[in-house]
């Protein structure tokens, strides 16, 4: 009880450390808890939200709760029976270090507070299924106690992995340091890879046991669709524009700089553009980009769009860094795409972009080496070629976008109920 009192006290005195949106925790059947650590950008929470909405749509009595450290989770729309708890944020710097987002003390204390909040939430919510996004033991090992507690009560534990994590050598060292493999062996019942093995296998070269590999299902990519709510900004000429998006924007300054240089050099020879820097780009950098874009009639800037699917669905083509969610949108809305991947602190985006280019799903333009300046002419040429590029659907593999169907099918078997559309 003393631990619980300390947790409640910490929540009261910290800026909305934990946010409940009216979910009643009582004994109705069908509960899914989803963990999204959100140490960098928007990728984790957007993926978890997509899965949560798909499950809520298919199962009419299911309740889904997302535990997240994202500081802007409240900016997104959530469907009925999908709720969230926000724990104190910890961000990952470009050099790989972690620092608390707010004023909750050193990172060790913040991690301990997060771990306590997550465990208490999990025990009270009592989920039938617990889906963990990417980190087998959570951020800095914060899920160890939660996983063990839920395992003891019979909750089905699922690890969800994006299509690419990092190059095998780097990932093997990271997972060894984080004691991830024992968790895969002893705690998890299932491992979902949200991609296709024919495109990339994130577990290859790790020396995992046959027991772990038998738990693993390649679901296909997570199909996206338009939200029912309208976007925050409506552009009548969006179908003529190239959308340049950096995702969260925390590491997207180079991409925006490069695109701006191309338009400053040859705007008359390019389709008009819309730049979406993202909510985590430094304010001074974003302001400087906005001033430069204002001088180019063919360009518009929109800081952040929580319903990005509308922009992706309606635009002429897209330029991005090729994060997982953006790649899913490229495939789902069948958009011509230029990917300019980052290569630090991990090679995830580069590996995905290389695979996409090899398979004809997108074009790729490599970042300049550290210390080198971007070549505006290279970006101009890439943007000019983009409208003539083949559509991804012309090269799509079978099952490419079956991810949500696969997730729903697994949960249907566990819940023993029919989905909503079968009850209509």
pLDDT exceeding 90 applies to what percent of the chain? 73
Average pLDDT, the chain: 89
Q: How confident is the model at residue 424 (pLDDT cuts 50, 70, 90)?
A: very low
Domains 2-222+401-423 and 238-394 share a fold: yes
**270: which 2 tokens?**
């390019």
Does the structure show a pLDDT above 60 at 300? yes
Sheet holding 336-339, edge to edge: 299-301, 273-276, 242-245, 317-320, 336-339, 363-364
First to last CA, the chain: 46
Q: How confident is the model at residue 329 (pLDDT cuts 50, 70, 90)?
A: very high
Confidence at 269, pLDDT banded by 50, 70, 90: very high
Phi/psi at 90 (5° precision) = -130, 130
State the pLDDT at residue 29.
57
Two tokens at 273? 């553009």
In which band, very low, low, confident or very high, does the pLDDT at 322 lie, cut at 50, 70 and 90? very high
- Please state, in angstroms and rounded to a whole number, the distance separating the CA atoms of residues 147 and 136: 10
Q: How confident is the model at residue 372 (pLDDT cuts 50, 70, 90)?
A: confident
Topology of 238-394 in CATH?
Rossmann fold (3.40.50)
The answer to whether residue 311 scores a pLDDT higher than 90 is yes
Can you tell me the distance from the alpha carbon of 354 to that of 190, in angstroms, rounded to the nearest whole number? 28
pLDDT at 92: 65
Cα dihedral across residues 170, 172, 173, 179: positive or negative: positive
DSSP per residue, 97-143: -EEESSSS-SHHHHHHHHHHHHHHHHHHH--SEEEEES-TT-GGGTT
Mean pLDDT of 224-252: 91
What's the pLDDT score for residue 400? 98
Q: How far apart are CA 369 and CA 373, in angstroms?
A: 8
Dihedral angle, C-alpha 401, 404, 410, 416, nearest 10 ° = -140
| pLDDT at residue 238 greater than cutoff 50 | yes
Round to whole Å and give the CA distance between 223 and 328.
Answer: 6
**Predicted confidence (pLDDT) per residue in 98-124, tens digit:** 666 665 568 888 899 999 999 999 999
Which of 221, 224, 225 has its CA nearest to residue 403? 221
Sign of the C-alpha dihedral, residues 171, 281, 242, 368? negative
Q: Do β-strands 317-320 and 63-68 pair in parallel, antiparallel, or remain unpaired?
A: unpaired
Per-residue pLDDT band for 39 (boundaries 50, 70, 90) equals: low
Find out whether 405 and 51 touch, Cβ atoms under 8 Å.
no
What is the distance, to the nearest Å, from the Cα of residue 122 to the centroid of all Cα atoms in its chain? 22
| From 219-228, 279-288, 366-375, the region with the lowest mean pLDDT | 366-375
pLDDT value at residue 158: 98
pLDDT single digits (tens) 382-396:
999 999 999 999 999
Quote the pLDDT of residue 20: 42
Sequence-ordered strand ranges (E) for 88-224 = 90-92, 98-100, 129-133, 156-162, 190-194, 216-218
Q: Averaged over 232-252, what is the pLDDT?
A: 91
Residue 268 reports pLDDT greater than 90: yes
Cβ atoms of 111 and 142 within 8 Å: the answer is yes
The yes-or-no verdict on residue 420 having pLDDT over 90 is: no
Instruction: Tell me if residue 271 falls in helix, strand or coil.
Output: coil
Give the distance, in angstroms, between the CA of residue 326 and the centroid of all CA atoms in the same chain. Answer: 9
Q: Which CATH number applies to 2-222+401-423: 3.30.390.10, 1.20.140.10, 3.40.50.2000, 3.20.10.10?
A: 3.40.50.2000
Helix (H, G, I), strand (E, B) or coil at 394: helix
Mean pLDDT of the region 35-39: 83
Domain residue ranges of the chain, discontinuous segments joined by +: 2-222+401-423, 238-394
| Mean predicted confidence (pLDDT) in 249-260 | 94
HSE toward the beta carbon, residue 340, CA cutoff 13 A: 25
Tens of pLDDT, residues 50-88? 999 999 999 999 999 999 988 888 889 999 999 999 998
State the CB neighbour count (10 A cutoff) for residue 416.
Answer: 8
Query: pLDDT at position 100, please?
Result: 64
Nearest to 252 by CA among 232, 291, 292, 282: 282
pLDDT value at 2 more than 60: no
Measured CA to CA, the distance from residue 115 to residue 109 in angstroms comes to 10
pLDDT at residue 5 tops 80: no
């Amino acid at each position: 009880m003393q631990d619980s009192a300390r947790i409640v006290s910490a929540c009261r005195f910290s800026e909305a450390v934990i946010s409940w949106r009216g979910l009643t925790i009582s004994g109705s059947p069908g509960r899914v808890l989803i963990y999204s650590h959100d140490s960098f950008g928007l990728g984790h929470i957007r993926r978890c939200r997509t899965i949560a909405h798909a499950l809520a749509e298919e199962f009419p009595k299911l309740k889904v709760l997302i535990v997240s450290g994202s500081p802007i989770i409240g900016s997104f729309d959530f469907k009925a029976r999908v709720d969230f708890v926000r724990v104190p944020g910890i961000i990952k710097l470009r050099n790989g270090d972690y620092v608390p987002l707010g004023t909750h003390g050193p990172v060790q204390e913040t991690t301990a507070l997060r771990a306590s909040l997550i465990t208490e939430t999990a025990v009270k919510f009592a989920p039938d299924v617990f889906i963990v996004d990417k980190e087998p033991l959570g951020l800095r090992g914060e899920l160890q106690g939660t996983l063990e507690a839920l395992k003891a009560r019979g909750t089905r534990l699922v690890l969800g992995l994006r299509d690419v994590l990092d190059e095998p050598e780097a990932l093997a060292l990271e997972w060894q340091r984080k004691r991830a493999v024992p968790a895969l062996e002893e705690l998890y019942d299932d491992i979902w890879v949200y991609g296709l093995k024919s495109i990339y296998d994130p577990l290859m070269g790790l020396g995992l046991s046959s027991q772990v590999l038998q738990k693993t299902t390649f679901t296909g990519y997570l199909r996206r669709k338009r939200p029912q709510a309208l976007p925050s900004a409506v552009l009548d000429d969006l179908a003529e524009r190239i959308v340049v998006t950096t995702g969260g924007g925390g590491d997207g300054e180079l991409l925006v700089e490069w695109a701006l240089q191309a338009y400053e050099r040859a705007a008359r020879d390019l389709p008009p553009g819309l730049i979406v820097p993202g909510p985590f780009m430094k304010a001074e950098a974003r302001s400087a980009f906005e001033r430069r874009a204002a001088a180019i009639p063919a360009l518009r800037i929109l800081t952040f769009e929580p319903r990005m699917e509308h922009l992706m669905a309606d635009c002429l083509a897209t330029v991005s860094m090729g994060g997982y969610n953006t790649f899913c949108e490229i495939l789902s809305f069948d958009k011509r795409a230029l990917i300019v991947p980052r290569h630090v602190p991990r090679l995830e985006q580069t590996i995905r972009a290389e695979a996409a280019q090899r398979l004809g799903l997108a074009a790729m333009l490599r970042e300049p080496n550290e210390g080198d300046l971007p070549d505006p002419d290279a970006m101009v040429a890439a943007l000019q070629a983009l409208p003539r590029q083949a559509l991804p659907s012309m090269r799509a593999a079978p099952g490419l976008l079956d991810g949500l169907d696969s997730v729903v099918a697994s949960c249907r078997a566990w819940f023993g109920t029919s989905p909503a559309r079968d009850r209509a």
